[in-house]
Amino acid sequence: MTERELKSPVVGTRLVAGIDEAGRGPVIGPMVIAGVLIEEDRANALHNLGVKDSKRLTPKRRERLYPEILREVKAYHVEVVEAKVIDSERGRKNLNVIELEAMAKIISRLRPDLVQVGSIEFKADRFRDKLSQRVKVPIVSVHHAEDLFPAVAAASIIAKFTRDNIVCRLREIYGDFGSGYPSDPKTVEFLRDAIGRGELPEIVRRTWCTVQRIASSVRAVPCQVDIEDSL
């Protein structure tokens, strides 16, 4: 968890929170959800910095923008959901609910007047209603919100930069597992080797079907595999 203390806003200024995540799909590493709080009439300052969806920026550009974003926003908060937490939670809830709960925590911390967030469900209105049941704040939820709202784009950069740094530290501890995504051959080889040795580290999301498929191929079974979706 990372945050900056919230300062009192100027009277009459509406505060907008943008929320986004990084790392929903990887089989290795945490999911990171970030929120930034900014005065509504200052949102264009983020746009002027060159803030956009983190996936459209190079790692170097995200690194340069990170401190600039923090200078512009009034507050920010980051929730890091570790792989072992995702695994334990998924016995009772799906990934959408886990992420929804993290978003609700961020909103409660930042106390905005309005929330802008991308929908993690096919029906954006349904997702908005589910989040509204947890926090009593007006919410705008649309697909590709990071392309429409500078605050959401800024949150996406904070989330991605934070997760990238965590992944770098994990590689130093556990060895080079690649990106951590199931489509990465280096990640698959890391999992195959770990499962074959019976030493699957806690940074692996054991409930991902990628793990089950690899386990079947090497005739080993990891502990407590509970497959819900492939992601």
Q: Which residues are annotated as a binding site for a divalent metal cation?
A: 20-21
150/23 Cα distance (integer angstroms):
20
57/7 Cα distance (integer angstroms):
30
96/81 Cα distance (integer angstroms):
13
Binding residues: 20-21
51/61 Cα distance (integer angstroms):
10
101/197 Cα distance (integer angstroms):
35
175/16 Cα distance (integer angstroms):
40
The CA distances from residue 166 to 23, 82, 169, 195, in Å, are 11, 10, 5, 23
HSE, CB side, 13 Å, CA atoms: give it for residue 166: 23
Residue 102: what residue type? Answer: A
CA dihedral (38, 152, 17, 231) in degrees, to 10, reads -150
